[in-house]
Structure formats: C-alpha cells, structure tokens
Structure 1
Amino acid sequence: MVADRSLVKGSAYGICAGLCWGVIFLGPQLTPGLSGLQFAVLRFLCYGAISAVLLMPRWRRVCAHLTLADWTSLFWLSLIGNLIYYALVGTGVQLVGIATTSLIVGLIPVLVTLAGRHDVNAVSLRKLLPSLCCAVGGVVLISWHALITGDRPDTLTTIAGILCATGALVTWSWFAVSNARRLVQVASVSSHDWALLTGVMTGAQSLLLAAPVLGFQAGTHGSAEWLDFFLVAGGVALLSSVVGGACWNQASRLLPLALSGQVLVIETLAALVFGFSWAHRLPDAYETAAIALLVTGVLWCLNCHRPPLPCRQQSRRTPACRSKAR
C-alpha cells in the first residue's frame, strides 16, 4: 500500500514537472532577437534571483548540511544540466523548430531508463522493452513526419539544429541520472531546497557569463524589447526552473530511476501541445498516432513498476499464492 502511494505521488510530481518544463521550448520562439545561449543566460539570471530570495530566510541552516562534494555536484549539475542543456535546446528550437527539437529531446526517458536498469528494485530490461519500444516508436514516427512535412532550412542549418538537440538529449540525461543519485546522498536537504540551491549556483554562473554574452548586444535592443525578454525569461524561470525543478526532485526521491525517466515523456507531450497551439493547428493523424505510442509506453512502464498484490487480494490459482497457501 505504501509502495502504491509512493508510486502515485511520485508519478503526479513527475507529471507536474513535465508540464512545467514543456514551456522551455516556447521561450526561445518568443524571443527571436536573442540566441539560444543569450536566452539561457537571461532565464537563469532570473532563476538565480528568485531562488536566492526564496532561500534567504533559511540559507545558513540549509548550507550547514552541505559538504564540499555537495557543492561540487551542484556546480556541475547547474552548468551541464541547466546552462549548457538549455543553450543547446534554445539553439535547436531556433534552427529546426519546437517539434523536431522536443522530439529528439523526447528520447531522454529511454536513456534515463536504461541508465537505471541496474539500480535496486529496478525492473528488468526485458520487462521494460515493450514500453521502451513504444516510446522510441512514437518519437521516431513524429520526428520523421515533422522533418518531411515541415519547411526545412538549408542542410547545414538542419544538421546544426539536430546536433544541438542531440547534445541537449545527452546532457539532460546525464543530469537526470546524476541528480537523482545525489539526492539520495543529501537526504538532510529537502527536494525544494536542493532545487533552490541549484538555482543559486546556476544564477552565479550566469552572472559570470552575462557581460560577455549579453553586454555587447545591450544597445541593439530598445528598453521595451529588453522588458519583454526579461518577462518571458522570468516566467520560464519561475514555472520551469523553480516549480518544475522542485516537483522533479520530489519525483526523483519517490520513484525508481527507470520509472522517473519514463514519466519525463510528459515534457515532450506538453511541448508538442504548446507547439501546436503556437502554430494554431491540431495534430494530424501521424502526430496523433505518435502521441498515442508515447502515452502507451508511459502507462505500460507504470504498470511494470506496480508492486505485486498480497495473496489475499489475488486469486489462489496463481502459482506463487498457491505455494504459499500450502
């Protein structure tokens, strides 16, 4: 019963995180005057400021539990999982669009699930294979459809965009695995505070990059444009980084790594919904079929991770319960 509750609660947190993260693909589209790296720096400056304000009342108490190893982990998690990842996402979105980028990044659940297959209480790869095939099949189908039906730029731009999206896939897969394992080791710090600490670290890194990345373009945009940029970046930071990060950390503590990886497919679905809304259209038959495959894969994986019912709730005809009855 307790395991069932943790599964449901962790899945709910993971779904909330995925919904919040779906907007990260829309941010770069709303700020075409900035490069992917520039928008990433702006977003994480806002994230750092919000995190510092929220964490300030209990800063000393939270930091008292952290070791040098924890701070080192925060540095690399922030740099690779936030700054580098989102710079690659933003560049990919601007080069090849939301659909293609979000669908390549949508393979994150597959990589995270494979990385967690040897963890304690992990489900065997053979049992997970059908759900993984559904997820991969959905991503491949909708990626192929998006590439052959969209207005494609020149070949070099397409290749550059795909490489950026692939880099984002690798960097955030590493972040998801490393962050989940580090959270197990810092049980004295809450999931919410860990997300805020990550925000403070990312904000500090962004502050160092702000002058060289944003400074030389300060005069090329008017004050009204910069206000729009900050409003979009602040909205993405609050929803995706603060709320989404806290939900994801909580999900990482409640779910097995393989299952938390599968729940990440919600981010892809949310990004597609936002992308279709931005384009003012509904998904066609191919896109609907691909989305159905993705959802099927998640639900299948969720069922694989359900603990077996006690024998009193199962039929006595099952072999395991029959042997216990004897």
Structure 2
Amino acid sequence: MWNGVLCGLLAGAMWGMVFIVPELLSAFTPMEMAVGRYTAYGAIALALMLPRLKSLMRRLDRSDCLALVRHALAGNIVYYMLLAMGVKLAGVAPTSLIIGVLPISVTLMGRKDHGAVPLRQLAMPLLVTATGIACINVDVFTHAQAAGGSLWRISLGVLCATGALFCWSWYTLDNARYLKQHHHFSSAEWSALYGLSSGLIALVIGAMAFAVWRGDITGAAAVASGRDWTTFWITNALLALGASVIGNHLWNIASRRVPVTLSGQLILFETLFALLYGFIYKHQWPRVLEAVAIVLLATGVLWSVRVHALEEEVHGA
C-alpha cells in the first residue's frame, strides 16, 4: 500500500502544475488551453506507444473504448476547461482548495467499494479536512471583499471550480473501479491509451472551434498581447509530459494499490502542491487562514493514511 501512497504523492506534485499554467497563459481561453494541452498529450502518448500500437489496438474492446472516451472528457478536457476558468476568475488558491474537496466527495461516493474503510473510522480525518476547506473559503471571500474585488466574478469562478470537482470526482471513481476490474492493460498502457483518446477528442474540438472562428493575431502583435503561440505550445508540451503522461501513469499505479477511499485522500496532495506553486509564483507567503488550511488538510490526509494502514494490518493479520 505504501508504494501506492508514494505514487499518489508524486502524481499530486505533477498535477499541481496545472493550476499555474492558466496564470502563465492568461491571454488564452480555457478551451484553447485544454485543446493545446491534450493535443500535446496525445502526440506524446502516440510516440510512446507507437512500437506497440497494433498490439494495443487489437486488445481494445468496446467497453475499453467507451471508458477511454468518458474518462478523456470528464477527467481531462471538460475538467481542465472548468479548472482554467476557475483560476482565471477566482485565483489559484480558491480553485485548488475547492478541488481539495475531492477527498470528501470521493470517499463518500466510494464508501461501498471493496476494501473501503467504514466512514465512522474516517469521521475525524474528514472533519479536519472539511475544516481546512472552510478556512480557505472564508479567507478567499473575505480578502476579495476587502480588496474591492467582484464577488460575482469570484462566485462564477467558484462555480466553475465546483463543476471541475464533480468531473474529477466521477472520473476518479470510475477509473479506479475500471482498472481494478480489467487487467488486460498495464498502468503504462492504459495511461498511453488514455492520452491518445484525449488527444483525438481535443483535435476534434479544436478543428470545430477553428472552423467557427479563424481570426487571431500573430507575430509581434501576438507577443505584445500575451498570445505568444511559441510559449503556448512549449508550456503545454511540458505540462502534457509532466502532469498528463508522468502524473497519470503514477496515479494509475496508485489506483491499483490502494482502496478507493484512500485514493480520494491522496488527491489532496495535488491541492497542497498547487498552493505551494502558487505562492512561489506570486512571491508571497500564505495568509493566516491559508496557512491554517494547509496544516489542517495535511493533517487530515496523513490521518486518513494512518487509518487505512491500521485497517490493512488488522485484515492482514
């Protein structure tokens, strides 16, 4: 189990980067960022799986294809569009902490899965996590009001982040259940197929968007406006390699080695790394409530890991 926990932590470190990219590419729309990221992801996945492409395609059945399509949409493209919009409107910290509700939503949704720890044993860790999430939300809206920010804009950002939360919660459960029930693909193979399907869908969406709207600025004017396409593709390629290829592969390993209720807790590492990267990017220390939230969230996830470890020891004995 502990190898699964380590893989979950490293996946969180990779995924935390996705909250910073919308800040770096603020001149681009969430749809452009999603299409760029997953087109790059698809290209990298295709290159990695090319020597085994025919063998993998022969092993695909109808249920695999349906799973790949729904996971690509819910877990990648739609999720990232909503996340990017949340970051643009509400900021990195509130968006990442709303996504941080995942441990609670996934745990509750997966409470009947095999190997799940009874909720009564997770009550205190979940309460600590919920308190941390409450702290960050109080801080966000209080700070925005004091700074004269638009509450409507932040509320819309929070709504988008909540939509991303629901997408990722459903994907996390469905992906974990599917991997536990189907063993004809390794974690690396499934991650590559997942990337290829995401890339194909992103290309279709991009082509449809281009057919509707073809206008764009290029050259020096593009650089001046922030719409620098060279920077756009380099950033998305690095994000696709780190967060999508490496991060998803690590997460698939974790999903196979830990109970669903614990996998929900491990996603919290993404939130903690996103906060860390955000503070570094903005060259600022966390405010008091933000620091309290970080401590509470870290305590909640470590407590939950301990509960699962004790439960495993009891059943193992």
- Give me the whole-angstrom Cα distance separating, in 2, the residues matched to 1:281 and 1:175: 33
Aligned residues: CA RMSD: 1.8
Does 1:195 pair with 2:198?
no
The residue aligned with 1:219 is: 216
Partner of 2:7: 13
User: Which residue of 233, 255, 261 maps to 1:252?
Assistant: 255
1:146 aligns with 2:140: yes
1:268 to 268, 271, 296: 271
Q: 1:308/1:211 Cα in 2 relative to 1: closer, same or farther (>3 Å)?
A: closer
Q: Give 3-state SS (helix, strand or coil) of 1:189's partner.
A: coil
- The 3-state SS of whatever aligns with 1:110 is helix
Could you tell me which residue of structure 1 aligns to residue 285 of structure 2?
Answer: 282
Q: Which residue of 2 aligns with 1:72?
A: 66
Contact 1:107–1:169 at 8 Å: present in 2 too?
yes
The aligned amino acid for 2:137 is: S
The code of the aligned residue for 2:295 comes to: A
Against the structure 1 CA distance between its residues 214 and 274, is the aligned structure 2 distance closer, same or farther, given a 3 Å change threshold? farther
Aligned with 1:196: secondary structure? helix
TM-score for both structures, normalised by structure 2:
0.92
| Residues 1:39 and 2:33 are matched in the alignment | yes
Q: 2:165 aligns with which of 143, 162, 169?
A: 169
Per-residue deviation, 1:143: 2.0
Q: How much has 1:121 moved relative to structure 2?
A: 2.0
Partner Cα separation in structure 1 for residue 25 and residue 72 of structure 2: 23
Match of 1:83 in 2: 77
Q: 1:153: Cα distance to partner?
A: 3.6
Please say if residues 12 and 273 of structure 2, whose CA atoms lie closer than 8 Å, have aligned partners that are also in contact.
yes
Count, aligned residues:
306
Residue pair 1:38, 1:213 contacting (<8 A) in 2 also: no
Measure, in 1, the Cα distance between the counterparts of 2:52 and 2:297: 41
For residue 311 of structure 1, report the CA deviation from its aligned partner.
11
**Residues 95 and 157, structure 1, Cα contact 8 Å, conserved in 2:** yes
- 1:136 paired to 2:130: yes
Tell which structure's C-alpha radius of gyration is larger: 1
Please identify, of 299-308 and 194-203, the stretch whose mean Cα deviation from structure 2 is larger.
Answer: 299-308
Q: Tell me, what secondary structure is at the counterpart of 1:64?
A: helix
- 8 Å Cα contact 1:99/1:143 also seen in 2: no
Indicate how the Cα distance of structure 1 residues 311 and 50 shifts in structure 2: closer, same or farther if over 3 A, else same: closer
Whether the aligned pair in 1 keeps the contact of 2:76 and 2:198 (CA below 8 Å) is yes
SS for the counterpart of 2:59 is: coil
The amino acid that maps onto 1:173 is S
Contact 2:115 2:260 in 1 (8 A): no
Residue 218 (structure 1) shift: 5.6
User: For residue 100 of structure 1, what is the aligned residue in structure 2?
Assistant: 94
User: 1:229 — aligned with what?
Assistant: 232
Taking structure 1 as the reference length, what is the TM-score of the superposition?
A: 0.90
Report if aligned partners of 1:152, 1:158 keep a CA contact under 8 Å in 2.
Answer: no
Q: Distance in 1 between matches of 2:21 and 2:187?
A: 25
Structure 1 stretch displaced more, 222-231 or 184-193: 222-231
Kindly provide the CA deviation profile for residues 71-125 of structure 1, in whole angstroms up to 9, marking residues without a partner as x. Answer: 0110111011110000000011011110111111110111111122111221110
2:164 corresponds to which letter in structure 1? A
Give the partner amino acid of 2:10. C
Gaps of 5+ in 1: 1-6, 313-326
How many Å apart are 1:57 and its aligned residue? 0.6
In the alignment, structure 2 segments of 5+ residues that lack a partner are none
Distance 1:195 1:310, change over 3 A: closer
